[in-house]
């Protein structure tokens, strides 16, 4: 879609599944299953949504999906489908990975940093977006390099070390504006360095709200993922960002909703929010 002076496109890296209980934290199953169906293993369907911003000069990608470096067992655990990839979606727009000039990392979890690398014929992980500035919040990168026992499963070395080897990451603290109209800002909550991305052009505003509201079901304030390292920080960010989005009619871009890339939030009776899909 045309978005002010930019082109804004919604790409995705296919679907995967995560445990529904973990995705909805303290919310009991009878409540969250009213919004989202689960399979026989209690898993819910998610998609890896990656917005592409074309400014005329820059091709900016936000996050890079779950990638395709998975073995059979992992593919089964996460129900990773092989049929749709971010690289294929880029090709649909006439772009090769080398055409991406800026890759914004909201954070470096395995389902957001997957295409940082691919396996070559020797089975080694090699960088994919070879001409892109890889922007990441300084403390996010630090934690991704030195995980503790809780974080170990969510940061994979083969998405990070090959870029470190070529000094591929460019860090910032709290906020960065890589091009006028695109602001990456730290929220914390999900991870210490987790960031959202505000896109402003021609009087229009979009917000890649990322893990502050991964699916439309997470529009309820207390519906915070058990994966979040700092859930109270997520809660306060949700409150603040939701108010901003309702007030300004911001287009809210979702990172994991399987059916919606972009929604508008409307406030109804008692402050209850509804999410109206604009791009699916």
**Residue nearer to Zn ion on the CB measure, 36 or 191:** 191
Binding segment (CB under 5 A) for Zn ion, from list 17-25, 78-86, 211-219, 228-236: 211-219
In Å, how far from its chain's centre is CA 207?
A: 12
Q: Specify the stretch interacting with Zn ion by CB under 5 A; choose among 103-111, 159-167, 178-186, 235-243.
A: 103-111
218 counts as binding Zn ion under rule CB under 5 A? no
DSSP string across 71-117: -HHHHHHTT--SS--HHHHHHHTT--GGG--EEE-S---TTTSGGGE
Can residue 109 be called a binding residue for Zn ion (CB under 5 A)?
A: yes
Q: Is 37 helix (H, G, I), strand (E, B) or coil?
A: coil
DSSP 163-207: HHHTT-EEEESSEEEEETTEEEEE--SSSTT-EEEEEEETTEEEE
Give per-residue burial for 126-135: e unless 16+ CB within 10 Å, then b. Answer: bbbbeebbbb
Output 95 or 104, the one with its CB closest to Zn ion: 104
Tokens of 173: 């603290």
Cβ nearer to Zn ion, comparing 140 with 211: 211
CB nearer Zn ion, residue 89 or residue 140: 140
Binding mask 162-201 for Zn ion (x = CB under 5 A): ----------------------------------------
Report the residue closest to Zn ion, judged by CB: 109
Segment interacting with Zn ion, rule: CB under 5 A, options 3-11, 73-81, 137-145, 206-214: 206-214
Question: Residue count at the site for Zn ion (CB under 5 A)?
Answer: 2
Which residue, 13, 179, 16, is CA-closest to 90?
Answer: 13
Residue ranges binding Zn ion (CB under 5 A): 109, 211
């Amino acid at each position: 879609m045309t978005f002010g002076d930019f082109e804004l496109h919604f790409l995705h890296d296919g679907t995967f599944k995560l445990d529904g209980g973990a995705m909805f934290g303290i919310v009991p199953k009878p409540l969250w299953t009213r919004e989202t169906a689960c399979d026989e293993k209690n898993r819910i369907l998610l998609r890896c949504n990656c917005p592409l911003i074309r400014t005329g000069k820059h091709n900016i990608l936000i996050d890079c999906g779950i990638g395709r470096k998975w073995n059979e067992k992992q593919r089964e655990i996460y129900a990773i489908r092989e049929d749709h990839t971010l690289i294929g979606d880029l090709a649909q727009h006439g772009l090769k990975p080398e055409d991406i000039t800026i890759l914004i990392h909201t954070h470096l979890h395995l389902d957001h940093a997957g295409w940082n690398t691919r396996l070559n014929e020797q089975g080694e992980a090699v960088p994919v977006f070879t001409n892109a500035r890889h922007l990441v919040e300084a403390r996010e990168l630090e934690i991704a390099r030195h995980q503790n026992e809780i974080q170990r499963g969510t940061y994979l070395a083969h998405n990070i070390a090959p870029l470190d080897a070529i000094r591929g990451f460019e860090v910032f603290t709290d906020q960065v504006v890589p091009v006028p109209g695109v602001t990456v800002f730290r929220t914390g909550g999900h991870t210490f360095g987790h960031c959202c991305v505000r896109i402003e052009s021609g009087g229009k505003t979009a917000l890649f709200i990322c893990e502050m509201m991964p699916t439309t079901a997470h529009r309820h304030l207390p519906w915070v993922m058990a994966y979040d390292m700092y859930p109270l920080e997520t809660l306060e960010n949700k409150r603040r960002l939701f108010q901003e989005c309702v007030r300004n009619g911001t287009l809210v871009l979702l990172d994991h909703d399987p059916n919606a890339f972009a929604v508008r939030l409307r406030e109804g009776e008692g402050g209850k929010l509804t999410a109206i899909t604009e791009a699916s």
